[in-house]
Amino acid sequence: MKNKKQNKQQESQYPNRQYYFPEQIIESFILKGKDSLQMTRRAQFILSIMAGAFISFGALASVLLSSNIEKAGYFHLLSGIGFAIGYAMIFLSGSILFTEINVLLPSYILHSHYSLSKKVLQFWLVCYIGNFLGALFVGFLLNLSGSLDKEFYEGLLVFMEKKMQFTERGTWGWFQVLFSGILANWLIGIAAVLGTAARDVSGKILGIFLPVIIFEAGNFQHAVANMGYFSITLLEGFEYNWFQLIFFNIIPASIGNLIGGGILVSLLLSFAFKEDIDEEVLEEESENK
């Protein structure tokens, strides 16, 4: 609690501070995790569909912005900015993203002593299905609209080949996607941390953009992001089938994302700042059990 008192003293000395301290970020994760879990199933499903749709728009933007860019540095920067647009839409709209709740729920479960119950697992499943359906819906609309030209799909194929290159490596390729998924949601989890730390919209957007650009440049495997890229290819007849997409990419990426966000971000920070969490937050959770 010593650090907590010091932080409160600092806050009184610097009333215009534009960011939250790490323990305050964890407190926010606890409260957001609780609020998301206590929503009606309908609200969870709708917000999950919206998040999946926004991810597809981020995938769309990443391809559009990086089209015909030959220098690797600029290509990665612009594709990262494009995808970060989609993530910012999710974060600021209150939509529910599978990889984000992998960061929020572990903090809530740990500090509220809430068990990994059927309700929690159902919420994860609803979110996952909703994200997938939202991504598919935008993919169908984009294809049916006829708005995207041949040049766009050629650029998209570059992304698809990078995402699916691991399928040719057999079992080891499956585990490489899993390890890549850990890295992906470690970075996306840090984006959630930085976005929560900022107290204004511009700060939140900047905090989101920095880790997301690294994630996109590194070709790390983010399950819902890949749903966005894959959804746009639905009517184009690319060489990869749904069995390959789901079992050799989305499933191992999802497992890796759970580890990266849940353990390497949420639980590590929760344990590190456990003694500094506001007692009133923990007492409120105990009363609500």
Mean pLDDT value of segment 174-183: 97
179-229 pLDDT, tens digit per residue, is 999 999 999 999 999 999 998 999 999 999 999 999 999 999 999 989 888
If DSSP states are collapsed to H, E and C, what string results for the chain?
Answer: CHHHHHHHHHHHHCCCCCECCHHHHHHHHHHHHHHHHHCCHHHHHHHHHHHHHHHHHHHHHHHHHHCCCCCHHHHHHHHHHHHHHHHHHHHHHCCCCHHHHHHHHHHHHHHHCCCCCHHHHHHHHHHHHHHHHHHHHHHHHHHHHCCCCHHHHHHHHHHHHHHHHHHHHHHHHHHHHHHHHHHHHHHHHHHHHHHHHECCHHHHHHHHHHHHHHHHHCCCCCHHHHHHHHHHCCCCCCCCCHHHHHHHHHHHHHHHHHHHHHHHHHHHHHHHCHHHCCHHHHHHHHHCC
Provide φ and ψ at 237, rounded to 5°.
65, 40
* pLDDT classification of 274: cutoffs 50, 70, 90: confident
* pLDDT classification of 122: cutoffs 50, 70, 90: very high
51-64 pLDDT, tens digit per residue, is 999 999 999 999 99
Mean pLDDT value of segment 86-112: 89
Q: Is the pLDDT reported for residue 16 higher than 70?
A: no
Q: Is the pLDDT reported for residue 15 higher than 80?
A: no
Q: Is the pLDDT reported for residue 108 higher than 90?
A: no
Mean pLDDT value of segment 258-267: 93
Q: Is the pLDDT reported for residue 131 higher than 90?
A: yes
Comparison of pLDDT for 111 and 288, the residue scoring more? 111
Q: Is the pLDDT reported for residue 289 higher than 70?
A: no
Superfamily of domain 21-161+171-287: Glycerol uptake facilitator protein. (1.20.1080.10)
pTM: 0.87
